[in-house]
Amino acid sequence: MWKHIKDFLKQWRKNKIGAIGAVVVILLIFVAIAAPLIAPYSPREMNTIRRMEGPSADHFFGTDRFGRDEFSRIVYGARVSLQVGVIAVSIGVLSGLVLGLMAGYYGKFLDSIIMRFMDILFAFPSILLALVVIAVLGPSLTNTMIAIGITNMPVFTRIVRASVLSVREEEYVTAARALGLKDVRLLARHILPNILAPVIVQASLALSGAILTEAALSFLGLGIQPPTPSWGSMLSESRRYMELAPWTAIFPSLAIMVTVMSFNLFGDGLRDILDPKIKV
Amino acid sequence: MEIREYIIKRILALIPLALGITFLVFVAINFVPGDPVRIFLGIEGTEELADQIRQQLGLDQPLLFRYFSWLGQLLQGDMGFSLLTRLPVSYELATRFMVTMQLAFLGIIFSVSLALPIGIASAIRQNTVSDFFIRIFALIGVSMPNFAVGVLLILFLSNVFNWHPPIGFVNLWDNPIMALQILILPVIALGTSMAGSVSRMTRSAMLEVLRQDYIRTARSKGLPERLIIYRHAFRNALIPVLTLVGLQLGYLLGGAVIVEQIFSLPGLGRLLLTGIHNRDYPVVMGCVLVIAIVFALVNAVVDILYTFVDPRIKYQ
């Protein structure tokens, strides 16, 4: 086990760009967890005397039209973005695992039903599918996560199904079946561990997409609702007065860009290590 | 299988997909919490009146029955009426459709015409300074969402050049110069991300192809480098690039929803968002259906295009 971890870390060190992505991702996770310790002000604390002030020693990223500290809102926004990203991708992974395992292992009619349904979901651009779900459920933090989770479901189902199809005929699966193992145990103990690599790679890449979709929905006023700080809604709000306070548009944009970029680099690095066959 | 046979099969496969899309959208909108008739009538409507309207609209019928009767109307071009403007949804869609299509079309032109040359240049100058800058640009392009590009473009142009994008919309065929003036910023905002990913894919596909034996053979025959790059390497690198462009077209349509909002373009996306904000469900259904079906059509066209780009591909 220890040897595997050492090998894994060694490969990370070789993959410099992936390593940079991983470091920034770790930093972002730290910022999200330690937000109350890092942020100098509460993200909701208004100070009407210091409205739309530029960056200074008191307010590193300036203030918005309510005098709220932009830096603190960006720091707390990281928490929201990562929370939505992780939970939404987890919804996609879990549902994709259940449906993909069923479709791939049992095949036939169940496979057809599940995969045709996934084809229909795939027929929607992801932001459109998320908008449909939000239109039905209404905008809120939970519904944003559900909506993004649903948009992630088809890709994970397809990946899991394809992996199960290739693993299903392996000799160790036949042997386990011959030993009389029940389907659930066989799927959980023998098939699942052997199909996880592409799922992990896709999950790391899907995180950046989920963060982007959350920002887009919040930008449109259909994601995280004010006053909860979200980078997308901060950017949307800034449009009304950005000529007077350009920093209110620049910093949320940079936060989104850096986060998405680091998750992309991290995902690419992970793919190179875990699944070198699909190198792009 | 012959190409013609494949094309027919691919087009026929669109029918069950389109039916699936209509069913999903219909069921989803019917799951919206709250009674649409009560929302429509407000607090003053009596229960008798609500029952009467439900009966008139067929809302008391089973879901599947309502779906088929709605589908029948849909096939005749009847998508109902907007709850907000009382205009036919098909009329609203027809007036907005071309705005989104022009935006998406120009977005593709912009991103592909930017991405292909820089992707190729990056591959043939691998590990040079220009390759480094192109890769950084591509990475930023991929990581920057279209709405952030749009907002920052407006911010930059208004603060530095005191220039604001013109408001309104003119069709490309009515006044091309004015239309381009209006659409230039939305097109850049929409196409930057696609340009980033297409240039990355072009670079990596070109690098892969340039290492092949037939390229070495072409070089050893003394063919000019330009011919090797464009006729031998680029044509073979085009398959994964085309796949990505096909996939990105969907994101472009999705992205248009957001970009139209930023630049106040009267397209399908803006109509959809207004519909969602006002709970105007006939309009929401109409917009979602049109965008999803155009997306499915575009994917089918891309699949068919493969046959022409790479005749080696065998179809089943």
Is residue A46 one of the residues assigned to a domain?
A: no
Is residue A1 one of the residues assigned to a domain?
A: no
Q: Where do we find the tokens 């972002």?
A: A28
The residue-averaged pLDDT of A263-273 equals: 86
Residue B142 Cα, gap to closest chain A Cα (Å) = 8
Tell me which residue in B31, B145, B158 faces A256 most closely, judged by beta carbons: B145
Tokens of B228: 């090797």
pLDDT score recorded for residue A1: 67
- Percent share of chain A, pLDDT over 90: 61
Is residue A180 one of the residues assigned to a domain?
A: yes
Contact state of B140 with A121 under an 8 Å Cβ cutoff: no
Instruction: State whether residue A24 sits within 8 Å of chain B by CB.
Output: no
The residue-averaged pLDDT of B228-252 equals: 83
Tell me which residue in B140, B255, B284 faces A135 most closely, judged by beta carbons: B284
Q: Which of B17, B151, B279 to mutate to test the interface with A (most CBs of A within 10 A)?
A: B151
Band of the pLDDT at B253, cuts 50, 70, 90? confident
Contact state of A261 with B139 under an 8 Å Cβ cutoff: yes
Residue numbers of A between 197 and 216 with CB closer than 8 Å to B:
208, 212, 215-216
Residue A280 has pLDDT above 60, yes or no: no
ipTM entry: 0.87
pLDDT score recorded for residue B41: 75
Residue B150 has pLDDT above 70, yes or no: yes
Contact state of A219 with B250 under an 8 Å Cβ cutoff: no
Tell me which residue in A120, A220, A258 faces B20 most closely, judged by beta carbons: A120
CB A260 within 8 A of CB A212: yes
Q: Backbone phi, then psi, for B263, in 5-degree steps?
A: -100, 15
Size of interface A-B (CB pairs under 8 A): 134
Band of the pLDDT at B296, cuts 50, 70, 90? confident
Contact state of A132 with B28 under an 8 Å Cβ cutoff: yes
Residue numbers of A between 103 and 132 with CB closer than 8 Å to B:
116-117, 119-121, 123-128, 131-132
Weakest mean pLDDT among A82-86, B217-221, B234-238, B268-272: B234-238
Q: What is the CATH number for A184?
A: 1.10.3720.10
Band of the pLDDT at A279, cuts 50, 70, 90? very low
Residues sharing a CB contact under 8 Å with residue A195, sequence separation 6 or more, in sequence order: A160, A163, A164, A167
The residue-averaged pLDDT of A147-153 equals: 96
Q: What single DSSP character describes residue A54?
A: P
Which chain A residues are Cβ-neighbours of B32 within 8 angstroms? Answer: 135-136
A5-59: per-residue pLDDT in tens? 787 777 777 778 888 999 999 999 999 999 999 999 999 999 888 899 999 999 9
Task: Return d(Cα B311, Cα B52) in angstroms, integer.
Answer: 61
Q: Backbone phi, then psi, for B145, in 5-degree steps?
A: -65, 150
In this prediction the pTM is 0.89
Radius of gyration in angstroms for the set of CA atoms belonging to chain B, rounded to a whole number: 24
Tell me which residue in A119, A120, A128 faces B291 most closely, judged by beta carbons: A128
Q: How many structural domains compose chain A?
A: 1
pLDDT score recorded for residue B147: 94
A160-210: per-residue pLDDT in tens? 999 999 888 888 888 988 888 888 899 988 899 989 888 988 998 899 999
Tell me which residue in B16, B258, B281 faces A216 most closely, judged by beta carbons: B258
Q: Where do we find the tokens 């072409």?
A: B218
Amino acid at B77: G
Is residue A99 one of the residues assigned to a domain?
A: yes
Q: What single DSSP character describes residue A243?
A: T
pLDDT score recorded for residue A275: 64
pLDDT score recorded for residue A277: 54
Query: What residue numbers bound the domain in which A214 lies?
Result: 28-34+68-279
- How many H-runs (helices) and E-runs (strands) does chain A carry? 12, 0
Is residue A50 one of the residues assigned to a domain?
A: no
Among candidate residues B126, B120, B132, the one with its CA nearest the CA of residue B236: B120
Calculate the alpha carbon distances from B177 to B165, B171, B174, B184 in Å. 14, 10, 9, 10
Is residue A8 one of the residues assigned to a domain?
A: no
- Percent share of chain B, pLDDT over 70: 97
Is residue A85 one of the residues assigned to a domain?
A: yes
Residue B193 has pLDDT above 60, yes or no: yes
Tell me which residue in A120, A127, A235 faces B257 most closely, judged by beta carbons: A127
Weakest mean pLDDT among A73-77, A275-279, B274-278: A275-279
CB B38 within 8 A of CB B50: yes
Q: Backbone phi, then psi, for A231, in 5-degree steps?
A: -60, -40
Contact state of A246 with B21 under an 8 Å Cβ cutoff: no
Q: Where do we find the tokens 């085009």?
A: B238
Residue B222 Cα, gap to closest chain A Cα (Å) = 30
For residue B160, the chain A residue with the least C-alpha distance is A243
Is residue A48 one of the residues assigned to a domain?
A: no
Query: What is the Cβ-side half-sphere exposure of residue B48, based on CA atoms within 13 angstroms?
Result: 0
pLDDT score recorded for residue B143: 92
Tokens of A118: 């996934």
Helix axes B3-12, B281-309, angle to 10 degrees: 170
User: How many angstroms separate the most distant Cα atoms in chain B?
Assistant: 87
Residues sharing a CB contact under 8 Å with residue B4, sequence separation 6 or more, in sequence order: none
